[in-house]
Amino acid sequence: MLAVPVQRSIILLAKFIVVAVWSAALFHSDLDRRAGMGALIQLPGGSLSVILQGSALVAATACLTIAVILPFAVLCQRGARLPAADGVAMLTLNRDQYSRISRVGRYFPWAVPGLFAQAKSPLTQASYGSY
């Protein structure tokens, strides 16, 4: 049974599912930890609307992040080598930082989730269209 060949598309789909599940688990873990710390130190202004608004922001940022990391799984699968995906990921991270410094980050897809979470730079429709 172990010698049965598996299609690459099935392997790629499995990677996408694992990334989505891990991202969702990290999102919930982070949200629970932050809510617990806020309750522990008794932060003022912890109304239900503030908590829901913050949770929505974190969930949207998590979805944007999932969308921008999936191409690396495709590259890793197509290239059949992990160093190729790692090299491109490092280069992309480098370009992400430079795009934020030069204020064109809103047009660079990998910078959009961070800018969205900070809400410091106005994102346009072109920012989301760059996906």
Q: Are 115 and 100 in contact (CB under 8 A)?
A: yes
pLDDT score for 123:
74
- The whole-angstrom separation of Cα 107 and Cα 97 is 13
1 vs 117, more confident = 117
Assess whether pLDDT exceeds 60 at residue 1.
no
For the stretch 101-125, pLDDT in tens is: 777 777 788 888 888 888 766 777 7
Q: Tell me which of 42-46, 49-53, 76-80 is least confident.
A: 76-80
Q: Are 130 and 112 in contact (CB under 8 A)?
A: yes
- The whole-angstrom separation of Cα 26 and Cα 44 is 26
For the stretch 53-87, pLDDT in tens is: 888 888 888 888 888 877 777 777 676 666 777 77
Residue whose pair of structure tokens reads 């049965």 in the numeric block: 4
Please state, for a pLDDT cut of 70, what percent of the chain lies above it: 87
The average pLDDT across 28-49 equals 81
11 pLDDT band, cuts 50/70/90, is confident
Task: Tell whether pTM > 0.75.
Answer: no
pLDDT score for 103:
76
Question: Which amino acid, 92?
Answer: T
The structure tokens listed for 103 are 């204020």
SS3 5: coil
24 pLDDT band, cuts 50/70/90, is confident
- The whole-angstrom separation of Cα 15 and Cα 13 is 5
SS3 111: coil
The structure tokens listed for 1 are 């049974």
Alpha-helix runs per DSSP H in 1-131: 8-40, 48-79, 82-101, 112-118, 125-129
Q: Are 58 and 11 in contact (CB under 8 A)?
A: no
